[in-house]
Structure 1
């Protein structure tokens, strides 16, 4: 028997590849299927089942493409109603893969169809729990995402989650390994650990949600401090439930090279958003006018979903040469399938064509210190609220990047302001969005708060973020 965790850092997502005696199962696969096909071929095994823990909100699963390419059956837990052929398992139903068994545990709460999969080895011993978004390491799945579909409040869903955890999961053997669908950084929970696997026994000790005195205290604990879910989540759920276009077709369409003239015409005629995925340092030196910067070198796909929102938005790409396929792939993982092409030769070809170039007014932290009178200047800190509360410049306003679509309209265009995040990644995103919307009376600070903290500018007293998040 072999269990392989295939973890994708930028999505904080874990897929699982299981092999036993010539047969395989894959749990919660990513959109692109070729890596799985390659593993199956290398191991000379047949894919028998594709298990889906629930209808994912934060990424588009590869279940449909993988099933078509391998003839493997897709398996959901009870109550799931996909609009394609799938096995809808009964609670406690057992599926054989080679010499092992995989038992379905229906665990509603995060969503109504949410299920965990318990792996039992050939000797009948419980070995692993693939817990989906029901149980994370250090946390549990947020119970507010399925309210509309379930016609239930988040408190009612949290009550279901309590029953699922305390009746189905806590009685399991302490020494089984818990393999969750997500880790730290995912918006599907609020307090996840950075580790990606742990024993259930250790989680019984360390996970706050598994240590509540009763259902009432559990509901209160898991519903407190939930931030609004990213707006694209519902669209990803719909794609996972209804189906989507074949990934190979999406990739072929997106890898359409466009000359500077063709790129400009395509963007204008289609209303495409120009997405520049270079790092913030490169972008700051010059970019195609109206381009929005979301760097490929960070949490790219989740930020695309949070800031662009509409998965049907046409997109024209500016990338470094050689990064075109990776960019289209990572966009497709969160359902952004309408890439019309990319700028051939990257930004250098745009410059050489003599076309107009835009820039962001960026200064160093030292320059910022030299020119600012902190009581008179307006400063916008786009970090998360928890980061801001941990430590911030005195008199700075906290306006998290995730909500820029709401707060940008409140800016007074005639009033100059300074803009920063932690290190420059998020503030350049904010700067590009603001400039694309016509705001230009601001200065972005290179290096963000990390650089500012090295100056003599006054900051609030530091508070450990672990205390803020508790």
Structure 2
């Protein structure tokens, strides 16, 4: 029996393909199911079942489409109010795939109906468990996605769910969570790349702390999560449309300028330093990297038309795929010509890129404003003395709070600061992008 991991690093999630004797089961597939279909075809597998651990809040599921294409049975936790045909499973139900079986274990906490699946081989030995947003590596799924009125109840349920898995399953059983690899669905940062039930018994706070302490610590550790989460559950319950990864319509310089002047979202995917060196007036810089889709989805005006500028067709295709994973389907065009040509004679805008050492030299200048766009909890932990903290996801609504002057904008590593710099530049503010690692470079600056 083989368990293959399908990584989606941009969202911090994993999907799984379990196979034996030509039969396969998929757990928590992402919307771009072509990756799984390629793996299935390459190994000449037959998918019999597609399983969801929960209705996802951080991505659009590919489960419905994958089940349709392969003819597999679509398995969803009982109690979820969905608008499509599926097999509802409750605690103790067994999904029989022939060479192996998966037993449903009701593990509420991340959601009310969240279900884990214990995997047994042909001899009936439990060899693994797919924990979705329940037991993560040294953590657990966050419990505040369904509203404040449910958070404490779900936090207590999460504590008992993690303990249920630890009590029911053997120490050597492998743990395969969906979240916890950078996803905001983790309550606190997860650690490690692999684990077992035995390791979690030693390391997981839900298994090493009493309930009161665990609940207090988890609630205190919850921070803001991306705004696009509000749309994922709605889409997944309704039944997502098949993914569209087609090449967006090419856009010429005249049309590009018209869209910018109309206030549409024009997103430049090039590296942050290339954007700073020269970009179209009114465009926003979202470097295509592992941080791209989370932060664009966080700031994006949901449903607005979006045009991409990239260095080449591969960059456009990569961004299209990332955006489709969170249901941003309104990509209405793309341009890959050199930015100087796209400007069509208009002057490009630019701003300075610096490091913390350069900031230290001007910190006492009255014209220097330090803008920290990290989350509030990051700023509270340690920050440059006198810095103004406006988290990146609040910046669009709070730009007016930033005084006039030379705005030196920073985050933890440079990505969020680069997005913020482009937003400020669009407003014609004087900005310097601090493209540096705060954990190291801030040692040279006065901090609190």
TM range (shorter): over 0.9
> 2:130 matched to 1:130?
yes
Report the aligned-residue RMSD: 2.3
Q: 1:91 to 1:417 in 2, by over 3 A?
A: same
Picking from 329, 342, 353, the partner of 1:350 is: 342
CA contact (8 A) 1:277 1:294 kept: yes
Counterpart of 2:140 in 1: which secondary structure?
Answer: coil
CA contact (8 A) 1:258 1:342 kept: yes
> 2:270 matched to 1:278?
yes
Counterpart of 2:108 in 1: which secondary structure?
Answer: coil
> Matches of residues 187-206 of structure 1 in structure 2 within 5 Å?
187-206=184-203
User: Which residue number corresponds to residue 15 of structure 1?
Assistant: 15
User: Which residue number corresponds to residue 296 of structure 1?
Assistant: 288
User: Per-residue deviation at 1:14?
Assistant: 0.7
User: Which residue number corresponds to residue 373 of structure 1?
Assistant: 364
> Matches of residues 292-441 of structure 1 in structure 2 within 5 Å?
292-308=284-300, 310-321=301-312, 322-351=314-343, 353-363=344-354, 365=356, 367-373=358-364, 377-385=368-376, 387-389=378-380, 391-412=382-403, 414-436=404-426, 438-441=427-430
- Give the TM-score taking structure 2 as reference length: 0.92
CA contact (8 A) 2:425 2:431 kept: no
Counterpart of 2:26 in 1: which secondary structure?
Answer: strand
Counterpart of 1:49 in 2: which secondary structure?
Answer: strand
User: Which residue number corresponds to residue 467 of structure 1?
Assistant: none
Q: Deviations over 1:64-89 (max 9, x none)?
A: 22122112121111211211111111
CA contact (8 A) 1:209 1:222 kept: no
User: Which residue number corresponds to residue 229 of structure 1?
Assistant: 225
Counterpart of 1:224 in 2: which secondary structure?
Answer: helix
User: Which residue number corresponds to residue 252 of structure 2?
Assistant: 259
**CA–CA separation in structure 2 for the residues paired with 1:346 and 1:31:** 32
Counterpart of 2:193 in 1: which secondary structure?
Answer: coil
User: Per-residue deviation at 1:403?
Assistant: 2.9
User: Per-residue deviation at 1:154?
Assistant: 0.9
User: Which residue number corresponds to residue 466 of structure 1?
Assistant: none
User: Which residue number corresponds to residue 53 of structure 1?
Assistant: 53
Moved more, 326-335 or 385-394: 385-394
**CA–CA separation in structure 1 for the residues paired with 2:356 and 2:171:** 51
Q: 1:43 to 1:435 in 2, by over 3 A?
A: same
Q: Deviations over 1:4-46 (max 9, x none)?
A: 1112222111100011222111111111111111111111111
How many residues align? The count is: 447
CA contact (8 A) 1:318 1:343 kept: yes
**CA–CA separation in structure 2 for the residues paired with 1:451 and 1:22:** 50
User: Which residue number corresponds to residue 89 of structure 1?
Assistant: 89
Counterpart of 1:202 in 2: which secondary structure?
Answer: helix
Q: Deviations over 1:124-152 (max 9, x none)?
A: 1111110000111111111111237xxx4
- Give the TM-score taking structure 1 as reference length: 0.88
**CA–CA separation in structure 1 for the residues paired with 2:437 and 2:283:** 21
Counterpart of 1:95 in 2: which secondary structure?
Answer: strand
Moved more, 298-307 or 390-399: 390-399
Moved more, 316-325 or 167-176: 167-176
Moved more, 442-451 or 135-144: 442-451
User: Per-residue deviation at 1:123?
Assistant: 0.8
Counterpart of 1:10 in 2: which secondary structure?
Answer: coil
User: Which residue number corresponds to residue 78 of structure 2?
Assistant: 78
User: Which residue number corresponds to residue 434 of structure 2?
Assistant: 445
User: Per-residue deviation at 1:219?
Assistant: 2.4
CA contact (8 A) 1:275 1:317 kept: yes
CA contact (8 A) 2:102 2:119 kept: yes
> 2:210 matched to 1:217?
no
Picking from 156, 173, 178, the partner of 2:153 is: 156
Q: Deviations over 1:75-123 (max 9, x none)?
A: 1112112111111112211111131001111111211121101100111
User: Which residue number corresponds to residue 287 of structure 1?
Assistant: 279
Q: Deviations over 1:392-421 (max 9, x none)?
A: 433223333233234323223x34432222
Q: 1:174 to 1:449 in 2, by over 3 A?
A: closer
CA contact (8 A) 1:20 1:97 kept: no
Q: Deviations over 1:146-204 (max 9, x none)?
A: 237xxx43111222223323335433211101011122421112323342320111111
Q: 1:85 to 1:206 in 2, by over 3 A?
A: same
**CA–CA separation in structure 2 for the residues paired with 1:348 and 1:46:** 50
Q: Please list every run of 5 or more consecutive structure 1 residues that lacks an aligned counterpart in the other structure.
A: 462-470
Q: 1:185 to 1:373 in 2, by over 3 A?
A: same
User: Which residue number corresponds to residue 465 of structure 1?
Assistant: none
**CA–CA separation in structure 2 for the residues paired with 1:327 and 1:399:** 27
Counterpart of 1:426 in 2: which secondary structure?
Answer: helix
User: Per-residue deviation at 1:374?
Assistant: 5.5
